[in-house]
Amino acid sequence: MYQGSCLCGAITLEVHGAIDAIIHCHCSKCRKSSGTAYATNGFVNTADVQLKTGQALLAGYEASPGKVRHFCRVCASPIYSSNTQTPNKLRIRLGILDTDIVERPISHNFVSSKANWDELDADLPHYNGHEPSRHGKL
């Protein structure tokens, strides 16, 4: 079980399951949403996520049709995103986790959108879109 919280601590959650397909996303939406070079995101089962506190403070922004980026309305921490196409999955923002995890990132994605001051981690594969293993997984 993993625990996470937003910057102000109002929203706390638990993840009772594995985190899959962790990637560093360099797309412009993730850069703007996170305010930095990239966002590190992974899939969790919606049923595995338990909001412990702060549910009323969880706001959402529909950045593209059906895809909502959920964040804390007090401190603006990104928490996870949801997709109406895949209601059984959430894409959690790994930076909110307070506990160590056993899973590791598998790639850098959407590198064609990366900031030109961003030096990529040379050890991981780089893709112009999603990692190829994403297809057929959801």
Of these, 13, 15, 19, 30, which contacts Zn ion (CB under 5 A)?
Answer: 30
27 scored as a contact of Zn ion (CB under 5 A): yes
* Contact (Cβ atoms closer than 8 angstroms) between residue 11 and residue 57: yes
Please, what sign has the CA dihedral across residues 103, 104, 107, 113? positive
72 scored as a contact of Zn ion (CB under 5 A): yes
Of 15-23, 67-75, 90-98, 116-124, which segment contacts Zn ion by CB under 5 A? 67-75
Determine how β-strand 107-109 pairs with β-strand 20-25.
parallel
Per-residue x/- marks for Zn ion, 82-111, CB under 5 A? ------------------------------
Closest distance of CB 74 from Zn ion, Å: 4
22 scored as a contact of Zn ion (CB under 5 A): no
How far apart CA 102 and CA 113 sit, in angstroms, is 29
Q: What is the dihedral of CA 132, 21, 39, 108, to 10 degrees?
A: -40
* Helix or strand run (H / E) with residue 34: helix 28-34
Of 22-30, 42-50, 91-99, 123-131, which segment contacts Zn ion by CB under 5 A? 22-30
Which residues in this chain contact Zn ion in the complex, by CB under 5 A? 6, 8, 10, 25, 27, 30, 72, 74-75
